[in-house]
Amino acid sequence: MTTVIKADGDGPSLFNALAIGLGVEILSGRLDAFQETPAYQALLDEFAKLHPQFKPKAWKTLKEWLIYYNNARDIELILAPVLLKLNQHYQLSAESEALEELTDLVLKFKANIASGNQWFQLELVGNFCPRLDNLLLDVRNKLLLDLSRLLQGIELGSNREAIKEFLAKNATVILGDLKDKFESDKNAFQRSYSVKDVKALSDALSLDVSEGSIDAPSKKQARVVVENKQQYWVVKFNDRDASIYLDRTPQRLKLTPLEAYQGEKSVKSPSIEESQEVAKESVVHLKRIIDNPGLGNCAFYAFATAVLSIIVQEKNQGKREMFDRWVKLDPSVSDLYDRLPALYDSILRNNMGGRDKELLDQLQSSLRIITYQYQVSELRNSCAKFHIKPKDLEENSNFVQFAYLYYGNPIDTDPRFNPFANSPDILRELQKIDRRTVIKNHENDVLMPIFLKLVYGDKVEPKDITYRTEPQKNSPILVAMNGITQDFFWGSHIDLDYLSIAFNLNLHVLRNQNAVQEYPNDLPNQHTITLQNLNNAHWTTEVIEARKIPAIDALSVQNPTRKSEQPTLSTQSISLFGVGSPLGLNSTLLQSRTSAGSEASGEQEVEELTADQRKLEYLKRIVAKATLAYTDYNKSIWFCFFHYHGRAGRDRAEQFNQDFSKIRDFETAKTSLLKYLGDNSNGNTHAHSYRTMLLHELQGAREDKKSLQFLSENYSKSLKRLREDLKPQVPEYSMSLI
């Protein structure tokens, strides 16, 4: 079966989902075979930059972090920012992205731009022009104005390439401005992303990232299945993976997504003993936040989920007190008992089918009716005491909502929360009040008689009202209160209070994960439920889940190849300046998984790599590492003589790295590498040029490694020696120092 985990919707939710999925794949051992590849070495580099305490920088250390910070939210916080940063190395340059999105914008909205429309008037659907759409609104409106001036009198057809060529030639100022804004956009991490946006990254990581079913066939052994829910993404697992490799610990980190993505707070490095303890078999009690379909029913879905957790717990103990209580309140649910455990299980896995959703809707409808009945009962009781104890009516929640309309505070008169705000009859009665005659701080002396009249009619004297007195037919107050029985009418904290009284429960409410009050009057003989309100817009359920989790061998890392199957390689591997570099035996890729990973995936084997393929992968890692080192250094420079074309140099380096990563055989890689190093049009050869830094990385880890300055001063000689060592089937390339 499938377990669905909701990724945090704050920030780039796709990367949050991808982080959870990748974390599980890493812990399962299914990616051990790829730990030496350029992409995973680059991932470790980025992880170490974001987390200074990540030491030593190694695959095993990454597993220790992922097992210690194993709550789904924690994995998002430590890994998603790393993936977002890493993904930037596989994307177009800011200038290229600006041209592509500007072309799409003009192609689709030529008429709107010519008509002087503002941005909000464009009918944007889906992930259209996400970099542009993430800019400030006034910047986007200015862009449309600049484009309208540029396109004035110009007839552009529907040929995308022609529009792109026109913009590349004539919109250089606009494109330059957009490039600068893209590069300086501090909120870029919050824009929307699609699976297509991470295709190059997922390929480099040997991951199949797709939308759909976890049972769909895949050519790759490691996969992350995600689904876009508009406001957030979810990630799907088989139940075994989810129960073993995820949520073994409570949430440990108190970071906000913004703090995580900006790297503002340090994350503690776990000790090996702490990680090993988490990997043992144990019974854990974890707090979980259970989401629901929402759509205006979230308060009642959340309450139903909390009550279901108690019913299932009691059923396992051979009791059914809570369910019997529900039946007493609403006999219509009496035949649902045997279906509730399966429903609760599907809710926990966030994977409800059509019948599950129908059953949950039936339960929330029942709760709405119970809420209404209890509110009416309490109201009639308060009205009956009016002539003896008027304070009871003053404190009645429905009278308070009615009084809010008199005072007119917009917060208290929102129709989504105040059932009386849309009642013409009630509003008409309030408008009749001559406010000049109302004594300050004695408004209720005027409001309570009007309220009683709206409940019982003109013919009933307040002093004659008892609990048995029937409200008038079609009472405006009761008609408005009855709105809570309708689907999609928002439930409030007050409604949930009524339900907790009806079900004999202690209700605790969190607002954005913080308690709204203390609860000293909880009754010890009653169950306690905790509901969470998010930004006054959505209710979820907090449950304590007891789980027995098996021991896992997630902290072990397999050798690059199985010793019995390790191919013999020539020690005459690539050397630079006469000293062997790591392109021989030490560059082999992993060939096996951990036993846990094999069990989880049916003993699928990793395809055997030839010696040349392993050398190719090592070359790719060198190029990727040199590219990262160069671009990071390049961006840190304010100005120098060699740096006035800095952006062009970074673009050129990143493009070469991207092209090189797609090469499939070793001979082509050697040819491409030497051609690039020998071509003067690819930039300078000063000490911190890309070509010199690339040559520097090719030496590997040696004690007598030549310095960047030495290589710069002896570039031609060094390149010639490299060419002799590589012996490619390519012609000589002319080379001169610049």
Tell me the C-alpha distance between 208 and 229, whole Å: 20
For the segment 292-301, what is each residue's pLDDT rounded down to a tens digit?
Answer: 998 899 999 9
Tell me the C-alpha distance between 52 and 266, whole Å: 7
3-state secondary structure 189-230: HHCCCCHHHHHHHHHHCCCEEEECCCCCCCCCCCEEEEEECC
Predicted confidence at residue 452, as pLDDT, reads: 97
3-state secondary structure 619-674: HHHHHHHHHHHHHHHHHCCCCCHHHCCHHHHHHHHHHHHHHHHCCCCHHHHHHHHH
Predicted confidence at residue 647, as pLDDT, reads: 66
Percent above pLDDT 90 for the chain: 52
Lowest mean pLDDT among 193-202, 205-214, 440-449, 629-638: 629-638
Predicted confidence at residue 634, as pLDDT, reads: 66
Model confidence at 563: pLDDT above 90 = no
Report long-range pairs for 40-45 (Cβ below 8 Å, ≥24 apart): 40/205, 41/621, 41/624, 41/625, 42/86, 42/89, 42/624, 42/625, 42/628, 43/82, 43/83, 43/86, 43/205, 45/625, 45/628
Within 10 Å of residue 635's Cβ, how many Cβ atoms? 11
Predicted confidence at residue 609, as pLDDT, reads: 54
CB 42 within 8 A of CB 221: no
Residue type, 637: I
Tell me the C-alpha distance between 532 and 542, whole Å: 7
Structure-block tokens of residue 589: 């890729």
Tell me the C-alpha distance between 443 and 26, whole Å: 66
Predicted confidence at residue 645, as pLDDT, reads: 46
Please tell me which residue, 283 or 116, carries the higher pLDDT value: 116
For the segment 57-67, what is each residue's pLDDT rounded down to a tens digit?
Answer: 999 999 999 99
Model confidence at 332: pLDDT above 50 = yes
Tell me the C-alpha distance between 148 and 137, whole Å: 17
Provide the mean pLDDT of the chain. Answer: 84
For the segment 265-282, what is each residue's pLDDT rounded down to a tens digit?
Answer: 899 999 999 999 999 888
Peptide bond into 728 cis (omega under 30): no
Tell me the C-alpha distance between 605 and 612, whole Å: 20
CB 652 within 8 A of CB 630: no
CB 711 within 8 A of CB 692: yes
Model confidence at 613: pLDDT above 90 = no
Q: Could you tell me the strand order of the sheet in which 506-511 lies? A: 282-290, 538-549, 528-534, 506-511, 514-515
Q: Give the pLDDT band of residue 614 (cuts 50, 70, 90).
A: confident
Burial of residue 243, with CB atoms counted within 10 A of its CB: 0-12 exposed, 13-18 middle, 19 or more buried:
middle
Structure-block tokens of residue 281: 């078999």
Predicted confidence at residue 712, as pLDDT, reads: 87
Q: What is the mean pLDDT of residues 553-575?
A: 45
DSSP secondary structure string for all residues of 503-566: TT-EEEEEETTEESS--TT--TTS-EEEEEEETTTEEEEEEEEEEEE----TT----SS-GGGP
Predicted confidence at residue 516, as pLDDT, reads: 73
Model confidence at 195: pLDDT above 60 = yes
Please tell me which residue, 553 or 408, carries the higher pLDDT value: 408
Model confidence at 252: pLDDT above 50 = yes
Q: What are phi and psi of 666, to 5 degrees?
A: -65, -40
Residue type, 282: S
Q: Give the pLDDT band of residue 257 (cuts 50, 70, 90).
A: confident
- Cα-based distances in Å from 25 to 88, 113, 181, 287, 329: 22, 46, 36, 24, 47
Contacts of 382 (CB under 8 A, 6+ apart): 392, 393, 395, 396, 399
Contacts of 289 (CB under 8 A, 6+ apart): 532, 540, 541, 542
Predicted confidence at residue 608, as pLDDT, reads: 47
Burial of residue 464, with CB atoms counted within 10 A of its CB: 0-12 exposed, 13-18 middle, 19 or more buried:
exposed
Tell me the C-alpha distance between 59 and 70, whole Å: 16
Model confidence at 309: pLDDT above 90 = yes
Predicted confidence at residue 701, as pLDDT, reads: 53
CB 26 within 8 A of CB 593: no
Model confidence at 515: pLDDT above 90 = no
Model confidence at 11: pLDDT above 50 = yes
Tell me the C-alpha distance between 419 and 415, whole Å: 6
DSSP 3-state assignment of 236?
A: strand
Lowest mean pLDDT among 452-461, 489-498, 588-597: 588-597
Q: Give the pLDDT band of residue 702 (cuts 50, 70, 90).
A: low
Q: Domain extents for the chain?
A: 2-91+195-283, 94-190, 298-365+490-548, 372-485, 563-726
